[in-house]
């Protein structure tokens, strides 16, 4: 039976630290032993202040790191950001300030090792330090995600895929959300974190997971041994059918998720959680799907007033569908696979998904 702990919390460090210590003890009192190598994997997507709710809050990461030190082990804190220099994320995200005087290593993932994830993906390059650590602690953020609906514990492990291999995987799984969900589930299963804690204190609603999303205070930390169980109960908390989150559905189909999960603590349904608008990624019979995708599916568009032509989106785009014409950016909607990575990584919140006119009409007349 999987236990998932829900605890009311705030970022006031004096309040938060004992809550995190209690949660860690309750999840796995004897998991962390003296001298163990412990890797903490927060969500460090891109440079963003804590009040933007893009990253796992530095105080949550600090309290977990202090717990690891208290157990006599040495933590390393790592991620492979989608965009932005790691040092800038640490500074802008408030980590440099929060960790002053604490002897902890922050390191970006650099080297990969091949791990057999099983069919259909086979061998996947995953960050070596995540695979070879004794204990992996998964510190996710509770956010909406305009491609996958939500990003919670399971999706956070996608950060163990290094740098530009991430958009390559988007390209390989194409427009098939369920296939991408399967990839996420298999990556999670290949690294198997020992503990998952989701920072839902300042969560994100609307068009997340980057700066286009809207912070919403929920005041909750959620934790457990198994992120499949944690994610299912978070969906219930937000008032949705857990199988609507495709990673949950896929994990259940693959027999990776226990049927016996129970909530412990402050589990109170959240009202009016605003999910992102997801358009279908596939329309029509196969020969017409390309043309249907171009005309009917929501497309990424730029707000030129916010765009600073920084280049992050066109460097990251897995389909090479973005070009810069010096005054603004252009999209090649024939090439675009609608993965919405560009929206996710834009550091200035300048991109969003826009419904097309034929798509709007189709949806209106098909309901």
Q: Give the largest Cα separation in the chain, rounded.
A: 63
Q: 219 near 8, Cβ under 8 Å?
A: yes
Q: Percent helix, strand, coil in the chain (nearest 5)?
A: 35, 25, 40
Nearer to ligand SF4, 263 or 337 (CB): 337
**Encoding tokens for residue 191?**
């690294």
Residue 341 Cβ, how far from ligand SF4 at the closest point, in Å?
4
With binding defined as CB under 6 A, does residue 261 bind ligand SF4? Answer: no
Residue that the structure tokens 């995708």 belong to: 293
Q: What's the first-to-final CA gap in the chain, in angstroms?
A: 40
Beta pairing, strands 195-206 & 143-145: unpaired
- Residue 296 within binding range of ligand SF4, rule CB under 6 A: no
Residue 87 φ/ψ region, left for φ over 0, alpha for ψ in the -120 to 50 degree band, beta for the rest: alpha
**By CB under 6 A, which span of 68-76, 137-145, 197-205, 344-352 interacts with ligand SF4?**
344-352
Phi (first) and psi of residue 177, to 5 degrees:
-60, -35
- Considering only residues 61, 205, 339, 359, which one is a binding residue for ligand SF4 as defined by CB under 6 A? 339
* Residues 149 and 275: beta-carbon distance below 8 Å: yes
**Those residues with Cβ within 8 angstroms of residue 322's Cβ, 6 or more apart along the chain or in another chain:** 313, 314, 329, 330, 331, 332, 342
Q: Which is nearer to ligand SF4, 234 or 329 (CB)?
A: 329
The answer to the question of residue 18 lying near ligand SF4 (CB under 6 A) is no
**Per rule CB under 6 A, is residue 351 in the interface with ligand SF4?**
yes
Nearer to ligand SF4, 216 or 293 (CB): 293
Coil/strand/helix, residue 268:
coil
Stretch that binds ligand SF4, among 195-203, 263-271, 313-321, 359-367 (CB under 6 A): 313-321
H helix or E strand, kind and range, residue 29:
none
Q: Which stretch binds ligand SF4 (CB under 6 A): 41-49, 215-223, 231-239, 311-319?
A: 311-319
Q: How many residues belong to the site for ligand SF4 (CB under 6 A)?
A: 27
Of these, 312, 356, 357, 364, which contacts ligand SF4 (CB under 6 A)?
312
Considering only 38, 117, 341, 359, the residue that binds ligand SF4 (CB under 6 A) is: 341
Contact flag: residue 338 with ligand SF4 (CB under 6 A): yes
d(CA 58, CA 78): 13
List 20, 38, 197, 350, residue binding ligand SF4 (CB under 6 A):
350
- Is 160 an interacting residue with respect to ligand SF4 (CB under 6 A)? no
Of 238 and 297, nearer to ligand SF4 (C-beta) is: 297
Instruction: Decide: is 54 part of the binding site for ligand SF4 (CB under 6 A).
Output: no
- In the bound state with ligand SF4, the residue whose beta carbon lies nearer, of 286 and 327, is 327
**Listed residue (99, 118, 111) closest to 61, CA to CA:** 99
Report the residue number, 25 or 330, with the smaller CB distance to ligand SF4: 330
Binder to ligand SF4 among 185, 202, 203, 302 (CB under 6 A)?
Answer: 302
Burial code (b: 16+ CB inside 10 Å, e: under 16) for 283-293 equals beeeeebeebb
- How far apart (Å, rounded) are the C-alpha atoms in residues 78 and 160? 9
Binding residue for ligand SF4, selected from 153, 337, 352, 359, defined by CB under 6 A: 337
Contact footprint for ligand SF4 (CB under 6 A): 300, 302, 307-313, 317-319, 321-322, 329, 331, 336-342, 346, 348, 350-351
């Amino acid at each position: 039976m999987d236990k998932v702990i829900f605890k009311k919390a705030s970022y006031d460090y004096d309040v938060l630290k004992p809550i995190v210590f209690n949660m860690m003890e309750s999840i796995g009192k004897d998991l962390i032993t003296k001298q163990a190598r412990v890797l903490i994997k927060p969500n460090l997507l891109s440079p963003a202040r804590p009040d933007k709710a893009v990253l796992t809050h530095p105080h949550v990461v600090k309290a977990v790191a202090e717990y690891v030190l208290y157990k006599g082990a040495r933590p390393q804190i790592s991620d492979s950001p989608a965009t932005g220099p790691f040092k800038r994320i640490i500074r802008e995200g408030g980590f440099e300030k929060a960790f002053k005087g604490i002897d902890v290593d922050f390191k970006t993932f650099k080297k990969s090792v091949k791990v057999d994830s099983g069919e259909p993906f086979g061998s996947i390059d995953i960050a070596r330090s995540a695979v070879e650590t004794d204990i992996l602690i998964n510190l996710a953020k509770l956010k909406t995600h305009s491609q996958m609906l939500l990003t919670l514990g399971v999706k956070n492990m996608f950060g163990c895929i290094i740098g530009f291999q991430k958009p390559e995987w988007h390209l390989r799984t194409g427009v098939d959300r369920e296939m991408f969900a399967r990839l996420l589930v298999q990556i999670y299963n290949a690294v198997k974190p020992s503990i998952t804690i989701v920072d839902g204190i300042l969560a994100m609603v609307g068009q997340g997971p980057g700066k286009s999303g809207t912070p919403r205070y929920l005041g909750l930390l959620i934790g457990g041994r198994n992120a499949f169980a944690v994610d299912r109960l978070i969906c219930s908390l937000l008032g949705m059918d857990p199988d609507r989150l495709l990673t949950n559905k896929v994990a259940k189909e693959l027999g990776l998720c226990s049927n016996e999960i129970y909530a412990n603590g402050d589990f109170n349904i959240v009202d009016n959680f605003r999910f992102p608008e997801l358009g279908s990624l596939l329309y029509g019979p196969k020969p017409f799907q390309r043309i249907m995708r171009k005309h009917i599916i929501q497309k990424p568009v730029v707000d030129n007033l916010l765009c600073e032509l920084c280049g992050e989106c066109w460097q990251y785009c897995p389909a090479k569908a973005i070009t810069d014409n010096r005054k603004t950016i252009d999209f090649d909607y024939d090439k675009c696979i609608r993965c919405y990575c560009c929206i996710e990584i834009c550091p200035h919140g300048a991109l969003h998904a826009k419904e097309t006119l034929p798509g709007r009409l189709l949806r209106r007349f098909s309901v």
